[in-house]
Structure 1
Amino acid sequence: MNLQTLPGLFISHGSPMLALNPEQVGPALHRLSLNLPKPEAIIVMSAHWESHALEISTSVRAETWHDFRGFPAALYNIHYPAPGQPELAEKILHLLADAGLTAHANSTRPRDHGVWMPLLHMYPEADIPVIEISLPINMSAKDIFKIGQTLAILREQQILLIGSGSITHNLAELSWHGESQEVPVWASSFRNDVVSKLNHQDYEAILDWQNIPYVKRNHPTLEHFAPLFFAMGTGSRFNIVHSSFSMGSLGMDIYRFD
């Protein structure tokens, strides 16, 4: 089989409503999937699986988890029944162990919307094996980056690596009810600063995230920014696939790393 090297991706998955109202990012994800060779498998680090230790989903077929409340009933009827791949999960565990990163198997974890919502637009047939890896809350940015570096070799086996979060994510500041959609300066400045650093391959400055201007305003908690560290570890050539804002200050950028 002639396998092609796939990129690593950072995907801003936005509100759960993206599943019903794709806005600009849904079509962008669909176009991206058409421009890539079909993956043999997909590995996703999601902002919505925070853990104390690094964990890997080893489920044969993880349940679709609607890990949110207060949304339209139609959203809870969406399922993404992609299979797992326990053999690949075991390989991931071994790769991490060889790199000095302790990880644990988890066969019961359901698949959160940080995984299934973007994949719903990319691969709606749900016929590609998906493995979720957790976001360890006690790991440093450099450790999360190292996870991406460690798994980057899997790109050569036509495996797609994804960090799923949001380039900006302050839910308290969003325009939920259709009020002014103007992007505030603190959100656009942060996004532009991060992109400038990525364009200049200044990964160290992003891993030193505490010193990025407006970081706390855009990320009161870090879990939606941290999957970018993972994606950065998967490749050194950076490209913007898509850039937009939703609900005023919610950044919906998609980045590619080769």
Structure 2
Amino acid sequence: METKPLPSLFLSHGSPMMALEDSPTARFLDALGTSLPRPRAVVVASAHFMAREPTVTSNLAPETIHDFGGFPRPLYEIQYPAHGAPVLAGEIASRLIQAGFDARVDDRTGIDHGTWVPLRRMYPGADVPVVALSVNPSQSATWHYQLGRALAPLREDGVLVIGSGGYSHNLRELDWQNGDAPLYPWVEAFTDALSAKLLAGDLQGALDWLALPEARRNHPSTEHLYPLYIALGAGGPDAVATRLHHAVQMGGMAMDAFAFGQAA
């Protein structure tokens, strides 16, 4: 029987406290790991791993990086001891170089919370090898889409490609006193418009995100948005988008998740 390729995923990772706390998104990720075919490895493009040129981690035992401040001590005690995948990292770098990117491997950098927080919910046993891929906020959505396109063949070989960011990410306007605050109208305007482009298969409309309502208010910086386009590209040409999850935290943090490359 022919094995169906894995989808690529975009996940909104939210606060690092999702590693410890219950929430609709945490429960979604708990179930997601068991609902997908088990991958042989995971590649995560995280909003918190930024580099000028595409950088792929090749550390066999990547450090769990606690790249945040002001949270309870138990969060800093969490370790996610997944193995790396140096051979796969080299293959990814080669694919990116063949696609015209000045890619490199990095055998020192560990995995940040944009990687280990969602993976800890999906694969709590830390028993799936992990490779991290950087983003570059100074580049464009199209650049990141093309980066993802170079990774699309990995899905045929049992590798799960994940973009980990935030569907909206304006920390200054969150309601920090009310985690259950309703969705702000300006967040709804942007996320509804972007979702419509993705679900309709309107690639150019999705790439032209700055033309969407309230775009800059939702993403004053781009590092949490661009992982979406890596996942979109990794879905392959004419990828079908499926929304897997919709939630909001603190009024302004949309926690949507999408799959690309699978039948709707």
TM-score normalized by the length of structure 1: 0.97
Note closer, same or farther for the CA distance 1:5–1:250 as it changes in structure 2 (3 Å cut): same
Cα distance between partner residues in 2 of 1:184 and 1:178? 13
Query: Match for 1:244: what amino acid?
Result: A
Note closer, same or farther for the CA distance 1:180–1:2 as it changes in structure 2 (3 Å cut): closer
Moved more, 180-189 or 83-92: 180-189
Contact 2:10–2:258 (CA<8 Å) still a contact in 1?
yes
Give the 3-state SS of the residue equivalent to 1:256 in structure 2. strand
| 1:7 has 2:10 as partner | no
Cα distance between partner residues in 2 of 1:208 and 1:240? 19
Contact 2:25–2:245 (CA<8 Å) still a contact in 1?
yes
Match of 1:240 in 2: 243
Cα distance between partner residues in 1 of 2:53 and 2:165? 19
Match of 1:146 in 2: 146
Mapping for residues 1-258 of structure 1, pairs under 5 Å: 4-178=4-178, 181-235=181-235, 236-258=239-261
Query: Match for 2:134: what amino acid?
Result: S
Query: Match for 1:18: what amino acid?
Result: M
Deviation of residue 32 (structure 1)? 1.5
Cα distance between partner residues in 2 of 1:225 and 1:22? 24
Give the 3-state SS of the residue equivalent to 2:244 in structure 1. strand
Unaligned runs of 5+ in 2: none
Deviation of residue 179 (structure 1)? 7.3
Cα distance between partner residues in 2 of 1:136 and 1:179? 30
Deviation of residue 180 (structure 1)? 7.0
Cα distance between partner residues in 2 of 1:242 and 1:108? 34
Which consecutive aligned stretches of 4+ in structure 1 deviate over 4 angstroms post-superposition? 1-4
Query: Match for 1:135: what amino acid?
Result: V
Give the 3-state SS of the residue equivalent to 2:217 in structure 1. helix
Root mean square deviation of aligned Cα: 1.4
Cα distance between partner residues in 2 of 1:123 and 1:180? 27
Unaligned runs of 5+ in 1: none
Q: Deviations over 1:62-108 (max 9, x none)?
A: 10000000000010011111000100001011111111111011111
Query: Match for 1:229: what amino acid?
Result: Y
Give % identity: 41
Deviation of residue 3 (structure 1)? 5.3
Cα distance between partner residues in 1 of 2:195 and 2:140? 21
Q: Deviations over 1:4-48 (max 9, x none)?
A: 411100000001111111300111112111111110000000000
Cα distance between partner residues in 2 of 1:179 and 1:247? 4
Contact 1:4–1:158 (CA<8 Å) still a contact in 2?
no
Contact 1:4–1:157 (CA<8 Å) still a contact in 2?
no
Moved more, 60-69 or 205-214: 205-214
Give the 3-state SS of the residue equivalent to 2:42 in structure 1. strand
Count of residue pairs brought into register by the alignment: 258
Contact 1:167–1:191 (CA<8 Å) still a contact in 2?
yes
